[in-house]
A and B are shown apart, each in its own frame.
Chain A
Amino acid sequence: MSTSTMFTPTEPGTTFSSRIGGLAKARETGILLALLLVIAVTTIKNPAFLFSSDGFRDLLLTPSILVVVAIGEAMVIITRNVDLSVGSILGLSAYLTGRLFIDFPGIPILVVFAIGIIFGALLGLINGALVAFARVPSLVITLGTLYIYRGINLAWTGSDRIDPSEMPAAFLRLGTQTILGIPVLTVIAAAVLIVGAWYMKNTRGGREFYAIGSDPSAADLYGLKVTQRVLAAFLVSGAAAGLAGVLYAARYGTVNAQAGLGLELEAVGAAVIGGVAIFGGSGTLWGAAFGAVLLFTINRALPVLGIPDFWQRAVVGVLIIGAIVLDRILALRQSRKLIEARDQDHG
């Protein structure tokens, strides 16, 4: 028995996945780099963009609502579904927040947060139940619930508005307060991001989301509890939208029936730009968060750069298309590398 021809098995985590890991990391860092580039160019043109205290605060503050929603949306997209009702859930939750303060004066702010999150989770659960149990495509279901929830919002709100004077000052201050120079809302968004990203990467439950998104039938055959995970994904997405609704009320102070209109496509766009594949199975919450921040920062940067901000949506469109083309190229390269590596090992 000669040892020279002994076949040393490759350890998982070295050749294949380290390369894959590298690519994935390249995606998120790519977004981060683009973000820093935009900020740098704009700050050169107008230093107040970054260096005035208002500028820095607004830069971090304004996207935080979309970041929270994008995180929830990303979780759903990773399981190969989509949640189009997040905008309507945000609107309902924001109005609920206002009404809680009006109808129950003196209610503690934390209770309002909790109620908002639970309310959003319940609405998300309805979505999840319909998708998981009725085995209906989530695009259709969440399209229907988008209409239904928005209709309920309109019916409840009427032409009423919540004015800032009707909410406690302490709550509204949350919208602009800073801790060590970082806005409170950003801290909340970052906390959600860190918890979510850790769950997705390091826990078994999180990895199962990816498995379900990559190949639902294989996941089913493997014995994963697909129904439970899908329910969980929609629950989280709804809860995130509910939380974002409370943050919206704190930030803007005025809530009417238009709150959150059109937000769902922004959230999906942010996730896609951030590297979450629309057919599930890949991408990270970090990417979605950076995508959201990038979208908002571009919006702010354009007027400073002298481009009328009307063009912002066109820029977003180009970014989305660029992102998915890039993902496709990366995926093709990755599969080619995998085939090469497989051929090498067997050769």
Chain B
Amino acid sequence: MASVTAPAPAPAPDIKEQRYLDHGQPLWRRILLTREMAIIALLIAVIIVASAVVPRFGTTVTLGFLLLDVTPILLIALPMTLVIITGEIDLSVASMVGLSSVIFGVLHQAGLSIPIAALLALGVGAIGGTINGLLVTAVGLPSLAVTIGTLALYRGLAVGILGTTAITDFPRYWTQLAKDRMGDTGIPIVMILVAILAVIFAVVLHFTPFGRGIYAIGLSAEAAQFSGVRVKRTKLILFVVIGIISALAGIYYTLRYGSSRGDNATGMELQVIAAVLLGGVSIFGGRGAIHGVIGGVLLIGVLASALRLANVTSDVINIITGVLLVLSVVSSSVLAWVQSRRARPGAAQGAGTSAK
């Protein structure tokens, strides 16, 4: 046996054990230092300031009214987040709220019971969402234009059916249910429904393949298509869902205000979109999270409620909403510009630096 002396192993170079992290940053940074947390932090700050400055703000009565007011916006903002993340938009949601409110009222007046009328109104929402979805996916039209058209169409149908009259005769049981609070906490019962829906949407968006597909579509629809995501089917489903949820919001709105009118919720689509954008969702698609959106909706709601209690007129609320919206969008753009300036002189930062 020829002994082959294995050459003495070369002196081991001074290689430190490489640890490859799953992410570029530790968990607490990933969760806390995001746009969404910035909005939530802002929300908490505003609540604290308002409770101290505005008389009667920190009461359960106020909390109850605040939640009742934001419920329709919150409901619609949940699916709107998904729609905007895919890069589409739906401007017809408020008109669907009005249309479902009218259908609900008319059916009830014609003698149907509240639950049946509500189910049929939800069906109308599904049909409306399907029309939007088909025009966008099957015919290939831009969602901005389509939903401007359906905004006019659904609102027109709502106003056409009822004219300028309102149906205001609803059974006390249901209108009370829409407003009842849970015991002494002041939190309305409908918040249970809202919470359930919020959890469902959060789980779908963040923890399912369908949700990952939504992000993929937003970042690049073509790449997603070739990766096996069924782009058209996903978008169609999203439009149908947002139609149903808008109809649900319409039923709630009708019962809460006790009035079914063709022009209920006019302009609400802009409030929803403003809240969603404020919550960190990018209008270009591909980025956003549910908790940020909830924070955004609550932020606008808290500001509006606190300012109304302080007898500040609605114009200031408008201005603040607008400024927040512009700031939140411009600031990310400005920051990107600042970062690109800082990154230019040399150092490639981010993942990959092994030294430190």
Contacts of A265 in B (CB 8 A): 148, 151-152
Q: A147-B274, A311-B160 are in contact. Are A141 and B150 (CB under 8 A)?
A: no
Contacts of B321 in A (CB 8 A): 147, 151
- Measured CA separation A130–B322 after assembly (Å): 13
A84-105 vs B, Cβ < 8 Å mask (1 yes, 0 no): 0000000000000000000000
Nearest 4 A-B pairs (CB), nearest first? A317-B153, A314-B156, A147-B322, A313-B156
- Measured CA separation A328–B149 after assembly (Å): 14
Decide if B149 touches A317 in the complex (CB within 8 Å). yes
Decide if B152 touches A313 in the complex (CB within 8 Å). yes
- Measured CA separation A325–B136 after assembly (Å): 10
Mostly, the B contact residues are: helix
Taking Cβ atoms with an 8 Å cutoff, the residues of B that contact A are 89, 135, 139-142, 144-146, 148-157, 159-160, 162-164, 262, 266-267, 270, 273-274, 277, 283-284, 313-323, 325-326, 329-330, 333-334
Minimum distance in angstroms from A290 CB to a CB of chain B: 18
Minimum distance in angstroms from A82 CB to a CB of chain B: 8
Decide if B149 touches A321 in the complex (CB within 8 Å). yes
- Measured CA separation A155–B160 after assembly (Å): 33
Decide if A146 touches B151 in the complex (CB within 8 Å). no
Q: Does A137 contact B (CB under 8 A)?
A: yes
- Neighbour of A278 across the interface among B140, B142, B163, CB < 8 A: B142
Q: A272-B145, A313-B152 are in contact. Are A151 and B318 (CB under 8 A)?
A: yes
- Neighbour of A134 across the interface among B142, B148, B333, CB < 8 A: B333
Contacts of B273 in A (CB 8 A): 143
Q: A151-B315, A324-B141 are in contact. Are A144 and B149 (CB under 8 A)?
A: no
Q: A137-B284, A310-B163, A314-B153 are in contact. Are A328 and B315 (CB under 8 A)?
A: no
Decide if B163 touches A308 in the complex (CB within 8 Å). yes
Closest residue on chain A to residue B154 by CB atoms: A317
Contacts of B330 in A (CB 8 A): 130, 134, 136, 141
Q: Does A346 contact B (CB under 8 A)?
A: no
Q: A136-B330, A272-B148, A328-B140 are in contact. Are A143 and B270 (CB under 8 A)?
A: yes
Closest residue on chain A to residue B155 by CB atoms: A313
Contacts of B89 in A (CB 8 A): 139
Contacts of A74 in B (CB 8 A): none
Q: A143-B274, A151-B318, A269-B148 are in contact. Are A321 and B135 (CB under 8 A)?
A: yes
- Known contacts A135-B333, A143-B322, A148-B323; can you find 17 more A-B pairs with CB under 8 A? A134-B330, A134-B334, A136-B329, A136-B333, A137-B329, A143-B274, A151-B318, A151-B320, A154-B315, A308-B160, A310-B262, A311-B160, A315-B156, A317-B152, A317-B155, A321-B146, A324-B145
Q: Does A140 contact B (CB under 8 A)?
A: yes
Minimum distance in angstroms from B209 CB to a CB of chain A: 29
Decide if B146 touches A324 in the complex (CB within 8 Å). yes
Contacts of B316 in A (CB 8 A): 151, 155
Q: Which residues 111-167 of A sit at the B interface, judged by CB distance below 8 A?
A: 130, 134-137, 139-141, 143-155, 158
Decide if B325 touches A143 in the complex (CB within 8 Å). yes
- 10 CB contacts below 8 A, A to B, read A82-B144, A136-B333, A140-B329, A143-B277, A144-B322, A265-B148, A279-B142, A313-B160, A317-B149, A317-B155
Decide if B322 touches A145 in the complex (CB within 8 Å). yes
Q: Does A318 contact B (CB under 8 A)?
A: yes
Minimum distance in angstroms from B270 CB to a CB of chain A: 6
Minimum distance in angstroms from B89 CB to a CB of chain A: 8
- Measured CA separation A56–B163 after assembly (Å): 28
Q: Does A320 contact B (CB under 8 A)?
A: yes
Mostly, the A contact residues are: helix
Decide if A141 touches B152 in the complex (CB within 8 Å). no
Minimum distance in angstroms from A329 CB to a CB of chain B: 9
Contacts of A321 in B (CB 8 A): 135, 146, 149-150, 153
In this complex, which of A265, A308, A317 has the most chain B Cβ atoms within 10 angstroms of its Cβ? Answer: A317
- Measured CA separation A317–B320 after assembly (Å): 32
- Measured CA separation A279–B141 after assembly (Å): 10
A278-321 vs B, Cβ < 8 Å mask (1 yes, 0 no): 11000000000000000000000000000010111111111011
Contacts of A226 in B (CB 8 A): none
> How many A residues touch the partner, as a band?
35 or more
Minimum distance in angstroms from A109 CB to a CB of chain B: 29
Contacts of B325 in A (CB 8 A): 140, 143-144, 147
Contacts of B267 in A (CB 8 A): 262
- Neighbour of A144 across the interface among B313, B329, B334, CB < 8 A: B329
Q: A146-B322, A317-B156 are in contact. Are A328 and B334 (CB under 8 A)?
A: no
Contacts of A323 in B (CB 8 A): 149
Minimum distance in angstroms from A22 CB to a CB of chain B: 23
Decide if B274 touches A139 in the complex (CB within 8 Å). no
Contacts of A135 in B (CB 8 A): 333
- Neighbour of B277 across the interface among A134, A140, A153, A268, CB < 8 A: A140
Q: A151-B319, A317-B149 are in contact. Are A141 and B156 (CB under 8 A)?
A: no
Decide if B150 touches A155 in the complex (CB within 8 Å). no
Contacts of B162 in A (CB 8 A): 310
Contacts of B313 in A (CB 8 A): 154-155, 158
Minimum distance in angstroms from A148 CB to a CB of chain B: 4
Minimum distance in angstroms from B135 CB to a CB of chain A: 7
- Neighbour of A316 across the interface among B146, B152, B270, B314, CB < 8 A: B152
Q: A134-B334, A140-B277, A147-B322 are in contact. Are A310 and B314 (CB under 8 A)?
A: no
In this complex, which of B150, B326, B329 has the most chain A Cβ atoms within 10 angstroms of its Cβ? Answer: B326
Contacts of B154 in A (CB 8 A): 317
Contacts of A158 in B (CB 8 A): 313
Minimum distance in angstroms from A306 CB to a CB of chain B: 14
- Measured CA separation A265–B150 after assembly (Å): 12
- Measured CA separation A130–B326 after assembly (Å): 9
Decide if A140 touches B283 in the complex (CB within 8 Å). yes
Contacts of B141 in A (CB 8 A): 324-325, 328
Contacts of A143 in B (CB 8 A): 270, 273-274, 277, 322, 325
Closest residue on chain A to residue B152 by CB atoms: A317
Minimum distance in angstroms from B87 CB to a CB of chain A: 11
Decide if B315 touches A152 in the complex (CB within 8 Å). yes
Contacts of B333 in A (CB 8 A): 134-136
Contacts of A155 in B (CB 8 A): 313, 315-316, 319
